[in-house]
Amino acid sequence: MATVRGATIIAESLKQQGVEYMFGIVGFPVVPIAAAAQKVGITYVGMRNEQAASYAAQAAGYMTGRPQACLVVSGPGVIHALAGLANAQSNCWPMILIGGASPIVQNGRGAFQEEKQVAAAAHYCKYAHAVEDARRIPFYVEQAMRTSFYGRPGPVYLDLPDDVILQEVEEGSFQTAETIPDAPRPQALDENVESALSALESAERPLVIVGKGMAWSNAEDEVRGFIERTQLPFLASPMGKGVVADDHPLSVGAARTLALKEADLIFLMGARLNWIMHFGLPPRFSKDVRVIQLDMSPEEIGTNVPAEVALVGDGKAVVSQLNRALDERQWFYPAETSWRSALAEKAEANQATVQPMIEDESAPTNYYRAFKDIRQWLPDNAVIVSEGANTMDIGRTQMPNNSPRSRLDAGSYGTMGVGMGFAVAAAAVHPDRPVVAVEGDSGFGFSGMEVETMCRHKMPVKIIILNNGGIGGGMDELPADKPLPVSVLTPRARYDLMMEAFGGRGILVEDPKDLRSALDEAMAFDGPAIVNVLLNPRAGRKPQEFAWLTKDE
Ligand code: ADP
Ligand code: MG
């Protein structure tokens, strides 16, 4: 009778449940899993650090709508990948981590890389389990995958001991699993839909906030329909950008601080009132702000600020309910209100504040001048990856996103070091679209070695490093006396040469007048490229009304 090996059952089960990409690093005991995955047609991307691989898997899951896989070795491999589980959990993104484990028969003996992996992973996961027999693999893979992307998405973990990976079982001697259907899309109660619309009608200064729950639920057509129908001003969370185009006339993203502070009612769509949204509290929000909250997770409703109306359900389903209910109403938010003009004035004033920096031609350059060329050069269909403090914050305001799920950044967990893994994922999932990673020099450094992955896999990622020689900013020269200031990095470091080392293109830009041609050259190059833009170490952000991480009152 024919037999089949554990590794093959894993690969076939993952494939059956929609895994198309596996990011990982092989070694004991997972080599057979990677090889089997390739055999069944899963794209295997071998990376240089498990952390970056775990970031790649979750970004791929967010972009494809199904959990994608990360494969790591036992012990330290799993520990490195915990970073990705934590980040995925914080962002509500799906992924499945497959960890090799020491053989069951050696448990407790001090085996090579023996670790309590399920316990370690469980804290950062919706589901974590060890597979004790190869015949149960289809069951566990189905359960893990389904848990990952049904309801609020999140990471899951499966532990695969060496002896299960190598176990030979008779074909037909075990139960296979059903293929998991698309995630259910629950609707809100009709009465709450009506209450939400009535609340919006009664508001003087309404604001819609679009978060990445709407991007995840593919609600872009419904949300744009709703915004255009109601004519409500909206702004997007960092990764909610692009669900409705940033250049939409109803976007008030350019007056974000004022919009949040003065709104008397916010309609929170698939976004949380966490630190990114300043908890919904004063001084960043008005004390009595009313909240309509749409979320997949009932337990999220009322976090930090009680919700006047709760719409619990799937973003796409609930906004289409709202749109249908609007058919029965003639209402839209009027064209001329003092709220609209205040927001428009503020957006104009903000633009005027940064204009001198945009026009400053001195070398080395500042952020706003650099983004002027990047913005004009950026292809409309680009996937934008971004991390770094000022690089990411200023870039968010200066680089438009006009399509959904096309911005990947440090996210809800504020993680530095995600960029290279995200860029690898974007290149794998969207080989037909330009992938542009705009990185601070510090952010890039966390996983800089993944440029070798990009070169080896022929992923034409264009990396722009805004290089100010430090965490935050650095110095013109390193001082001779020790100790070094804690936030400095090497001034004028030649990150561009790293890319050349592996066969990509690297370009150094010392003067802003050379930036545009460098960007064009990078785009024209048939492969990955780094444009290393030297920045004035003292370049900063436009003055902000509130300190970063404003404390509540
Ligand atoms: P942002 O950073 O954009 O504000 P968050 O990650 O803070 O986004 O919030 C996203 C919210 O979206 C989470 O509370 C999550 O429960 C919710 N969510 C997840 N899936 C869906 C879905 N299918 N429909 C609507 N909301 C969803
Ligand atoms: Mg820096």
Q: Hey, which of 272, 294, 318, 418 would you mutate to test ligand 1's pocket, going by the most ligand atoms within 8 Å of its Cβ?
A: 272
* Span from the CA of 240 to the centroid of ligand 1 (angstroms): 9
Reported as a single tens digit per residue, the pLDDT across 449-478 is 999 999 999 999 999 999 999 999 999 999
pLDDT at 220: 98
Torsional sign, CA 260, 264, 269, 270: positive
Name 130's bridge partners.
159
Q: Hey, which of 93, 126, 212, 392 would you mutate to test ligand 1's pocket, going by the most ligand atoms within 8 Å of its Cβ?
A: 212
Atom nearest to 238 CA in ligand 1: 3
pLDDT at 451: 98
Residues contacting ligand 1 via CB (< 6 Å): 91-92, 152, 211-213, 216-217, 237, 239-240, 270-272, 274, 276, 295-297, 300, 314-315, 412
What integer is the mean pLDDT of 125-150? Answer: 98
Atom nearest to 91 CA in ligand 1: 6
What Cα–Cα distance (Å) separates residue 414 from each residue in 79, 90, 209, 238? 20, 9, 20, 11
CA distance 419 to 282: 32
Among protein residues, the one whose CA lies closest to atom 22 of ligand 1: 314
Per-residue pLDDT band for 333 (boundaries 50, 70, 90) equals very high
CB atoms within 10 A of CB 526: 8
Per-residue pLDDT band for 551 (boundaries 50, 70, 90) equals confident
pLDDT at 505: 98
pLDDT at 553: 53
Q: According to the CATH classification, is domain 3-173 in 1.20.1260.10? A: no
User: If you search the block for the tokens 């709104």, which residue do you land on?
Assistant: 263
Per-residue pLDDT band for 192 (boundaries 50, 70, 90) equals very high
Atom nearest to 272 CA in ligand 1: 7
Shortest-distance ligand to the CA of residue 187: 1
Among protein residues, the one whose CA lies closest to atom 5 of ligand 1: 271
pLDDT at 128: 98
Reported as a single tens digit per residue, the pLDDT across 502-523 is 999 999 999 999 999 999 999 9
Q: Hey, which of 87, 217, 241, 260 would you mutate to test ligand 1's pocket, going by the most ligand atoms within 8 Å of its Cβ?
A: 217
Q: Hey, which of 148, 295, 299 would you mutate to test ligand 1's pocket, going by the most ligand atoms within 8 Å of its Cβ?
A: 295
Reported as a single tens digit per residue, the pLDDT across 278-297 is 999 999 999 999 999 999 99
Per-residue pLDDT band for 322 (boundaries 50, 70, 90) equals very high
Per-residue pLDDT band for 542 (boundaries 50, 70, 90) equals confident
> Is 265 in contact with 288 (CB distance < 8 Å)?
no
Specify the CATH architecture of the domain 190-343: 3-Layer(aba) Sandwich (3.40)
pLDDT at 157: 99
Q: 320-354 as b/e, with b when 16 or more CB fall inside 10 Å?
A: bbbbeebeeeeeebeeeeebbebbeebbeebeeeb
Atom nearest to 213 CA in ligand 1: 12
* Span from the CA of 389 to the centroid of ligand 2 (angstroms): 8
In what order do the strands lie in the sheet containing 435-440?
A: 407-409, 383-387, 435-440, 462-467, 529-534, 505-509
The tokens of 95 are what?
Answer: 């992924």
pLDDT at 125 over 90: yes
CA distance 350 to 541: 12
The environment of the single-atom ion ligand 2, i.e. residues with CB closer than 5 A, is: 440-442, 468, 470
> Is 205 in contact with 339 (CB distance < 8 Å)?
yes
Name 206's bridge partners.
265
Domain boundaries, the chain: 3-173, 190-343, 359-534
Please tell me the CATH code under which domain 359-534 is placed. 3.40.50.970
Q: How many residues does the chain have?
A: 553
Reported as a single tens digit per residue, the pLDDT across 370-418 is 999 999 999 999 999 999 999 999 999 999 999 999 999 999 999 999 9
Among protein residues, the one whose CA lies closest to atom 9 of ligand 1: 271
Per-residue pLDDT band for 552 (boundaries 50, 70, 90) equals low
pLDDT at 543 over 90: no
Shortest-distance ligand to the CA of residue 440: 2
Q: 424-443 as b/e, with b when 16 or more CB fall inside 10 Å?
A: bbbbbbbeebbbbbbbbbbb
* Span from the CA of 298 to the centroid of ligand 1 (angstroms): 11
CB atoms within 10 A of CB 481: 6
Amino acid found at 371: F
Q: What's the half-sphere exposure (Cβ side, CA atoms, 13 Å) at 41?
A: 6
Same CATH topology for 3-173 and 359-534: the answer is yes
Shortest-distance ligand to the CA of residue 539: 2
Reported as a single tens digit per residue, the pLDDT across 72-84 is 999 999 999 999 9
pLDDT at 409: 98
Among protein residues, the one whose CA lies closest to atom 8 of ligand 1: 271
* Span from the CA of 296 to the centroid of ligand 1 (angstroms): 7
* Span from the CA of 468 to the centroid of ligand 2 (angstroms): 5
